[in-house]
Amino acid sequence: MRRPVVHPYESVGLDRAPDLRRDAGRLVALAADPASRWLGLRELAIPVVACRDGLGLALGPRPAEAGEPEVFLGLAGGIPVFAVPVNATPPGVRHLPLREVAVRLTATELGLCACARALLHWHATHRHCGRCGTLTRVEEGGHLRRCPACGLEIHPRTDPAVIVLVHDGGDRCLLGRAPHFPPGLYSTLAGFVEPGESPEAAVAREVREEVGIAVDPPLYVSAQPWPFPRSLMLGFLARARDRTLVVDRGELVDARWFTRAELADPRHRPVRLPRRDSIARYLIECWLAGAVPVAGSGSESRASR
């Protein structure tokens, strides 16, 4: 089955090698191997170096000032890659926020960085056992933390969230503005999936809560790992049953219907759209083009319009 699209921040060409994670002796040898590559993140910022094409990922030997934990990301092109927190930036290297380097790295590099950022953030925020409070131990190459007192196993977290472009079945789509957005930016609606809830039910609930309208059963498009800090964005399109909005001002500053003509030309758009590294922008562009990739088929069908 072919995937319709690979979004930024998704791992590309990374063999996660779960068998190696569980082989502690082998991991020690790989970590000591000078051929292994290391990614030293400073406060979750990405190490980059200037190169002919602009910026390149600073994947190098084990950093001298490496902190804990050492996380085995997997094999990239057969080469073991580790990520580790650092508290200094070596000469010639710069540490930049992941979203700032997103459009300047290759898909493979960006996928490695996203994986490293998500795992190191998880370690930094899950040091203690949630049941008894004891300091936990790192196992399986940084993919598991275990409580030595009560035995609780803690796995890296990924929180499912739905993100939906609501349209009217015709020429209009609905975009909203959250209080924390940069000036002028409007985007798709989004929210976390709650316990016991299907993604489709979460779409219907979020749309009803945020703008007060009902939608038809939503169409799943594709998903994007979103390591800010640990979401999996499940992207949908949904047709509204009603155009009259009742905006929840606690969630959104504004929400409006926009026509294709208003959004199509970037020079005359009345608002800013989300950045191209996001599935929000992808959903909007799909709708603008009247094309929606069909999950799994690798082909495209016309969106309802």
Interface ranges with Zn ion (CB under 5 A): 129, 131-132, 134, 147, 149-150, 152
Token digits of residue 172: 């209009």
> For Zn ion, which is the closer residue by CB, 126 or 239?
126
> For Zn ion, which is the closer residue by CB, 153 or 171?
153
> For Zn ion, which is the closer residue by CB, 54 or 151?
151
> For Zn ion, which is the closer residue by CB, 146 or 272?
146
In whole angstroms, the minimum distance from the beta carbon of 137 to Zn ion comes to 11
What sign has the CA pseudo-torsion 107, 111, 35, 40? positive
> For Zn ion, which is the closer residue by CB, 139 or 254?
139
In whole angstroms, the minimum distance from the beta carbon of 69 to Zn ion comes to 18
In whole angstroms, the minimum distance from the beta carbon of 132 to Zn ion comes to 3
In whole angstroms, the minimum distance from the beta carbon of 47 to Zn ion comes to 34
* 39 alpha-carbon distance from chain centroid: 19
In whole angstroms, the minimum distance from the beta carbon of 134 to Zn ion comes to 5
